Amino acid sequence: MVERNISRRTVLKTTVAGGAAAAAGCLGGGDDREYVRPIDVDLDDVEPENEINMWNWFYDFRDWTVEEFSAEYGIESSSSTGYSSAAEWYSRLEAGNHAIDHVGSTGNYTVRSVENDFFEPLPVDQFEGWEALPDFLQDTMHDYAGKDGEVYAMPQSLLLYPTLTYNEDHFSSPPDSWGVLWDEEYAGDICMWDEAQYPCQIAALYTDQDPFDPDDLDEIQEVLEQQIDLNETLWDEYNHARGLFVNEDVVVGPLLDGQTYLARFEDEAPINYTIPEEGGLYQLDDMAIPTDCPNPRAATLLMDWVTQPDNLKNIFHESGYPPAIDHDDFEELYAEDLEEGTITEEEIEFFRWGELEDRLMFAEPLGDDLLQTYDQIWTEVKN
C-alpha cells in the first residue's frame, strides 16, 4: 500500500516538474484557466494551480501538510488557517466568496454542507487513501457524506466517541457494561459527560434501546435521574475530563480514546478504555473541498496526497487520534516510527479495536428533533 503511494507521488511529481500541461479536460483556471470541478479532475494528467489554501483545526498537521505538499508539487503560494469551531468556516461557505480550497470538518457540519451543496463531490475512486479504507469505512462515507452516489468527504481520523474509560488499579478487568455507571459501589468516583446527547445515548444503550431512535424516552430520563447523584462531577471540556482521571478524582466514566491515550501514555496514569457489550459509538473527523474553491486542481491533488496512509499517519503525532485506515495496517505503516522509538507497540495496540469493533456503531449526526428532546431530558435530569 505504501509502495503504491510513493509510486503515485513520484509519477505526479515528475509530470509537474516536466511541465506537462494537459488539464482534466479544461484549460485556463484560477491562473486564467477555466474552472474544473474536482470530480472531473484526472489525477494522472493534471497540472495544479500555483496556490493552495488549507483550513484545518490540527495546527501542526495542517502546516506540515501545506509545506510538504507545496514543496512536492512546486506550489509557490500557500496558506493555512486554523479555527476553534467549525462554525468559523461554515459561516464563510454560507456567505460565499470563501477562498478556501481544503477544509477539515466533522459530524453535522459535514452533513449540512453536503445537503446545502457547500462541498464538491470527490473522485474517490482515484484516491489511494480511499482504496486503503476498510469496507466499513467506505460504506460509512457513502452513508454519512454521500449524495446521489457520490462521496463528498474523506476521513481524516477515527474517534471512539465516547469510550468507557476506567482506572486499571480499581478494576481487575475491563467493565463489560455501561451499567458500571449505575453501580453504587463507585458512587462519587464516576464522571459523566455534560453534553445532553451523550448521557442520553449512553442511557439508551444501557436500557437496550437504539441511541439514534429510542422508543422509550421516559425510561432514558428515569435511569439518568437514578445515575446523576452517583457522579463526582460532570465535565464539558476534554482536558478537564482527562485531569479527573489522571488525578484519580474519578475511576470510571465516558471519555474519548484520544484523551484516554494522552492520560495513559503522556501522563502515565493507569487508564484504559473499553467498549461495553451493549455497544459504543465511533465518529470521524473528515476533510472536504468547498464548492467554488479557488484552486480545484491543487485541492483535488492535495486531497489525494494528504489521505494517502503514508501522509495521513502524521495526524496521530499531534492529535493522539489514529488515522482513518485499516487497523491491521498500523504496524507496517508505523514501522519506521517504531524503529525510531517515536511510537511503541503498546501505543499501536492501544488503538486496535480487535473484537471490540463488532460492538461499535457509527455516531451518525442526530436530527434536530431528537437533539432537542435529549437537551430537554438532560436539563430536567440536572435540575
Is the confidence at residue 210, as pLDDT, over 90? yes
Alpha-helix residue ranges (DSSP H) falling in 118-237:
128-132, 135-144, 197-206, 217-227
Cα 118 to Cα 120: distance, rounded to the nearest angstrom:
7
d(C-alpha 268, C-alpha 38), whole Å: 45
pLDDT at residue 15 tops 50: no
Angle at 328 between CA 323 and CA 330, to 5 degrees: 45
**How large is the average pLDDT for residues 186-204?**
97
Assess whether the previous peptide bond of 162 is cis (omega < 30° from 0).
yes
- Tell me the per-residue pLDDT of 170-188, one tens digit each, with 9 for 90 and over: 999 999 999 999 999 999 9
How far is it, in rounded angstroms, from Cα 106 to Cα 98?
A: 19
- Taking the C-alpha atoms of residue 154 and residue 142, their distance in angstroms, rounded to an integer, is 10
Say how many C-beta atoms besides its own lie within 10 A of residue 361's C-beta. Answer: 13
Q: pLDDT tens digits for 293-329?
A: 999 999 999 999 999 999 999 888 777 788 888 878 8
User: Whole-angstrom Cα distance, residue 94 to residue 284?
Assistant: 23
Whose cell is 487497523? That residue is: 327
Mark 273-293 as b/e (b = at least 16 C-beta within 10 Å).
Answer: bbbbebbbbbbbbbbbbbbbb
Mean pLDDT across the stretch 194-203? Answer: 97
Q: The whole model's pTM is what?
A: 0.83
Checking if the pLDDT of 255 tops 70, the result is yes
Confidence of residue 11 (pLDDT cuts 50, 70, 90): very low
Cell of 126: 482515484
Across the range 74-102, mean pLDDT stands at 92
Residue 165 to residue 269: CA distance in whole angstroms:
12
Residue type, 58: F
Confidence of residue 7 (pLDDT cuts 50, 70, 90): very low
d(CA 241, CA 178): 18
Task: Give CA separation, 95 vs 88, 226, 364, in Å.
Answer: 11, 46, 26
Higher pLDDT, 26 or 218: 218
In DSSP terms, 280 is beta-bridged to 360
Residue 327: per-residue pLDDT: 79
Q: Where are the beta strands (DSSP E) in 269-329?
A: 271-274, 280-288
- Residue 12 clears pLDDT 70, i.e. is over it: no
The mean pLDDT of the chain is 89
Confidence of residue 5 (pLDDT cuts 50, 70, 90): very low
Angstrom distance (rounded) from CA 104 to CA 88: 11
Q: Which domains does the chain have, with CATH numbers?
A: 38-157+285-352 (3.40.190.10), 160-282+358-382 (3.40.190.10)
Which range, 152-161, 165-174, 357-366, has the best average confidence (pLDDT)? 165-174
Position 354 scores a pLDDT of: 84
Q: What is the DSSP string of 350-374?
A: HT--GGGGGGEEE-PPPPHHHHHHH
Q: What is the pLDDT of residues 28-45, one digit of tens each?
A: 345 678 889 999 999 999
Rounded Cα distance between 222 and 207, Å, is: 11
